[in-house]
Chains A and B, each alone.
Chain A
């Protein structure tokens, strides 16, 4: 029942075929079996998995092994590329109508998160595109759905159009658009009731709303935890409404999210946004490449390497290594290194990319706090050049000044100084290549 990632699953197979120059049919067969299981465990629909595996086999067999990769990694590379291809590129643009208002319709099953996403989307449109959206409460069925949207409207200070629960959703939508024109609102987002894709009556109602308001976008909102049924849901909604995009919600959970792949495969429609939390600013552009890694659950070595290559200047890295060796590593260097790491992406994501990182003791439940890193950065930036190079000159009044300048406390400054010293010692040990004391592991100041 262990929630194994692909990397772990493949380890045994990879070991066996390391050192070969070509990937043989048998290698691929063994590897694709593991890939298949990993995808199924991630809730990717079995039909989608079948097609994918077929393509992977065709591509992987007989390939020359690239320099720097072992055959196992080579197959992973093919898998990753196929997945990323299937997922498509990043597309988080929202349509703009020639004549305002632009109309967006939100549809989906019960409990997918339509109402919350409606609020988030409106917030996004205002914040990032300077738009003036109006929200429309067309869910007249679920108890208090209108109240929920009205509460969100209040939180966002945005108008919500509603006519109570006795009105017909088609009429509500129609009149909402008239109202939006009058009020010069440039976006109208219609929150519809959750419904089963097999409920003909309610699906007809959506069709009618669509025919009446002629929306510029129809977003299907799907729970990222959805299982095999995701294909049926997506297919039905797409067949009947010709959706324009998908919003995947609850991605801040620990689901692998194979539904994303299934939906993309059966509808061909882009997944545009991802819901990443319960707050109204937690709607993000969807990153297909990150999703591919997540579904596979593989410590994504390849993309980590790619990222590292583009971010870290090799010459600088050599210099840094030398500094670590002779212990002349300063706060100045540390700051630079930190910014390089941060350029690679959010820290927890980088941690996710390291194979085995989630197996390390205590790592699993560790919640990396970006704020803490901000503090560390602020403290270092409040030091003078002199202090950064030689922290030994630090005295009480300097520490006080630094704490004040960085908005932290003297205790925090002290902690950082202590950790920095320990880190330097540790680095020396590691660089010196001496085995022996392995106590505690590397204790980076921001962990």
Chain B
């Protein structure tokens, strides 16, 4: 069975709604990427060195990163030789296969869901640099969990940025979820401590904690974040159950440095990739998963409250190659 067939089978098992949402959200991404690959394939009559050089550029333009691209191209060249592929058309399939491979490595190829404490309070901590969309993601995530029937509480731990508390408050109103907050400029650890106490006494299922955006090279701010995490772990065994690093899909290679440093400080357990509804392709998550073993759990595909979708590498690649797969099935 060809890889595209496998991919299609995988995806047909998903509910159509989710797949369409993902597909629509990523249409800008896919258009630019697919047309590039198609262009490339059309321009070459045989698979030669130049072909690979051009392919290298296509991948780099998706922010996959120089190092990962080099590895990928090397493996592709070997694979093409091994299977004795002459036609550029046939390489398309190998490319997507290898992309999924890089992401999963030897792991089980399943969708990674949130680690939640099934009986009792779960705490989700969100971290990231400035302007990636932490607060918006929390709003969407809270909505999602509420839809699933869980009771949710929010803690406004970004006490630094002007208007951040109000912003979370608006999301609380929209989703009908309470927000625990202090004044601007107060100690974030104290807010989150209060959030935990409130969550315990109200017996809610999930507490989501917002934190202020911080650049990963600010040592003091990263220490502050580690302290916040310590407070959470001290209050509840095994918490935070999930530490989500929010990454902006438009970010380039620096995302790798962000993932690394935030992982060191707070032991990040998953990534939310935001702003994937633009033309940015967020290819850096392949490298992050490959090198740091942090899975992407959700993607942000718009500004509406429903625009947060679980991430599935198959879908991600399907999003990039969707039109190619269609062409393939006509044959």
Contacts and interface: CB of A to CB of B under 8 A. Distances in A.
Interface of A: 1, 3, 37, 40-43, 45-46, 109-113, 115, 141-152, 155, 196-198, 223, 225-230, 232-233, 250, 252-256, 258-259, 278, 365, 367
B131 A229 contact: no
Interface residues of B, number: 52
B219 A367 contact: yes
B253 A43 contact: yes
Interface string B164-201: 10110111001000000000100000000000000000
B54 to A, nearest CB: 11
A4 to B, nearest CB: 11
Contacts, number: 152
Nearest to B282: A227
A40 B66 contact: yes
Given A109-B275, A223-B248, A198 B28 contact: yes
Contacts of B278: 109, 196-198, 229, 233
Contacts of A1: 67, 256, 291
Contacts of A37: 66
Given A115-B162, A155-B162, A228-B281, 12 more contacts: A110-B133, A143-B169, A143-B171, A148-B163, A148-B167, A223-B248, A227-B280, A228-B61, A228-B63, A252-B215, A255-B257, A367-B219
12 contacts: A115-B163, A144-B163, A149-B163, A198-B28, A198-B278, A226-B252, A232-B32, A252-B217, A256-B254, A258-B252, A278-B130, A278-B161
Contact of A253 (B65, B135, B217): B217
Q: Is the interface of A mostly helix, strand, loop or mixed?
A: loop
A40 B163 contact: no
A139 to B, nearest CB: 11
A259 B219 CA distance: 25
B167 A250 contact: no
A141 B304 CA distance: 11
Contacts of A229: 63, 250, 278-281
A145 B132 CA distance: 15
B163 A151 contact: yes
B87 interface: no
A150 B184 CA distance: 14
Contacts of B66: 37, 40-41
A148 B281 CA distance: 30
Given A40-B60, A43-B254, A254-B257, A143 B133 contact: no
Contacts of A233: 250, 278-279
Contacts of B65: 41
B275 A113 contact: no
A109 B279 CA distance: 12
A203 B284 CA distance: 28
Contact of A142 (B167, B217, B219): B167
A110 B252 contact: no
Contacts of B130: 111, 113, 250, 278
Contacts of B255: 225, 227
Contacts of B257: 3, 254-255
B67 to A, nearest CB: 6
Contacts of B162: 115, 147-149, 151-152, 155
B131 A223 contact: yes
Contacts of A254: 215-217, 254, 257
A228 B103 CA distance: 20
Contacts of A111: 130-133, 248, 275
Contacts of B125: none
5 nearest A-B pairs in the assembled complex, by CB-CB distance: A227-B252, A148-B163, A111-B131, A143-B170, A43-B252
Contacts of B57: 46
B254 to A, nearest CB: 4
Nearest to A236: B279
B277 interface: yes
Contacts of A230: 250, 252
A258 B66 CA distance: 14
Nearest to A259: B252
B172 to A, nearest CB: 10
Interface in B237-285: 248, 250-257, 275, 277-281, 284
Nearest to A109: B250
Given A1-B256, A227-B284, A143 B166 contact: yes
Nearest to A229: B280
